[in-house]
Amino acid sequence: MISLAGKRAVVTGAASGIGRATAELLAELGAAVVLADVDEAGGAEAEQTVIAAGGRAVFVRCDVSDAADCERVIATARDAFGGVDVLFNNAGIIRRSTVCGITEDDWDRVMAVNVKSIMLLSRRAIPLMRAAGGGSIINTGSGWGIKGGADAVSYCASKGAVVNMSRAMAIDHGPDNIRVNCVCPGDTATGMLVEEARQLGGSLEAFYEEAADRPLGRIGTPGDIARTVAFLASDAASFVSGAVIAVDGAGTA
Ligand code: NAD
């Protein structure tokens, strides 16, 4: 049912985890993909994986909090593939701290990478989508954008912002046939979760053990999230906009 043939996609955070799995799946479904990430080695490797599988991909080194970098990403999609139909705003970081312990630098960095980036990329992609008659923007929120979480106040604030800015963008750009949705993963087995475990002084095993008590009894895989994003990117989701979709095995339910 889902084909992305003829679509041009931009994926941020494409060097690893959810972004990489999504970039690979979108390409497998027929999209030409611009992979954006600050990690040059990982991004180049992801680009080669897509090309080796017969897909079309270009990697652009980009810090998503930097306006000039974001302009270059969208310009690359325009110059290499002729436009942008799908934008997956997915790059994100976490810093573990309460509101009393966080430094201003960490607060600003989390907000810039997780929230400001969506504005920087979307404002360049939307005119191209409008010119093409529409498009699909998917923003990565989090279960911690829906409910609160302990010892990650800047991350929770940033993901709450992503959830509600997705709704606002869906309202503003619906008349241009641009759909905007927010995917909220629960704990998902990626580098971020390993880093979270390290910041908490533990290992990934603790996340697996904790998940055993949840309704579906496990944490997510990058593929779980990627398949949801592929649906939202496709014309199969033609009337889905302004939605906040938890992909968390009923973790927030
Ligand atoms: P990940 O660490 O594997 O991937 C994040 C990617 O973003 C990395 O490749 C990293 O290099 C890139 N990145 C970080 N800062 C960047 C910057 N300034 N500019 C460009 N790229 C940058 O983690 P992931 O779990 O795949 O994270 C993807 C998204 O999913 C994030 O927004 C994260 O908040 C969200 N999320 C993850 C989980 C989880 O449990 N893994 C849960 C909820 C939400």
Mutate to test the pocket of ligand 1, among 37, 192, 204 (most ligand atoms within 8 A of CB): 192
Q: What is the pLDDT of residue 106?
A: 98
What mean pLDDT is predicted for residues 114-121?
Answer: 99
What mean pLDDT is predicted for residues 105-109?
Answer: 98
Rounded to whole angstroms, how far apart are CA atoms 120 and 113? 10
175 Cα to the center of ligand 1, angstroms: 31
Q: Ramachandran region of residue 2, left (φ > 0), alpha (ψ -120 to 50) or beta?
A: beta
Mean pLDDT (the chain, rounded)? 97
Mutate to test the pocket of ligand 1, among 18, 20, 59 (most ligand atoms within 8 A of CB): 18
Q: What is the pLDDT of residue 157?
A: 98
For 31, 102, 128, 152, 199, the CA distances from 81, given in Å and listed in that order, are 10, 42, 12, 39, 40
Mean pLDDT lowest among 84-88, 131-135, 144-148, 195-199: 195-199
Nearest CA to ligand 1 atom 32: 92
Q: Residue written as tokens 């603790």?
A: 206
CA-based torsion, 58, 63, 67, 69: positive or negative: negative
Q: What is the pLDDT of residue 182?
A: 99
Q: What is the pLDDT of residue 200?
A: 80
What mean pLDDT is predicted for residues 132-148?
Answer: 98
- The pair phi, psi for residue 107, each rounded to 5°, is -55, -50
The residues lining ligand 1, judged by C-beta closer than 6 Å to any ligand atom, are: 12-13, 15-19, 37-39, 42, 62-65, 90-93, 113, 140, 142, 185, 187-188, 190-193
Nearest CA to ligand 1 atom 10: 13
Q: What is the pLDDT of residue 163?
A: 99
16 Cα to the center of ligand 1, angstroms: 8
Q: What is the pLDDT of residue 204?
A: 86
Above 80 in pLDDT, residue 95?
Answer: yes
In which band, very low, low, confident or very high, does the pLDDT at 20 lie, cut at 50, 70 and 90? very high
Tell me which long-range contacts 82-85 makes (C-beta under 8 A, separation of at least 24).
Answer: 82/8, 83/8, 83/128, 83/129, 83/131, 83/132, 84/8, 84/9, 84/10, 84/125, 84/128, 84/129, 84/132, 84/135, 85/7, 85/8, 85/9, 85/31, 85/129, 85/132, 85/134, 85/135, 85/136
Write the pLDDT tens digit of every residue in 168-207.
999 999 999 999 999 999 999 999 999 888 878 888 888 8
80 Cα to the center of ligand 1, angstroms: 25
Rounded to whole angstroms, how far apart are CA atoms 66 and 78? 19
Q: What is the pLDDT of residue 195?
A: 87
Q: Residue written as tokens 């475990």?
A: 197
177 Cα to the center of ligand 1, angstroms: 28
Above 80 in pLDDT, residue 1?
Answer: no
Nearest CA to ligand 1 atom 3: 17
CA angle 107/140/210 to nearest 5° reads 85
Rounded-to-10 torsion of CA 168, 169, 171, 176: 170
Order of strands across the sheet with 86-89? 56-61, 32-37, 8-12, 86-89, 135-140, 178-185, 244-247
Active site residues: 155
The rounded radius of gyration (Å) of the Cα atoms in the chain is 17
In which band, very low, low, confident or very high, does the pLDDT at 89 lie, cut at 50, 70 and 90? very high
Write the pLDDT tens digit of every residue in 31-88.
999 999 999 999 999 999 999 999 999 999 999 999 999 999 999 999 999 999 999 9
Nearest CA to ligand 1 atom 18: 63
Which ligand 1 atom is the nearest neighbour of the CA of 143? 43
90 Cα to the center of ligand 1, angstroms: 7
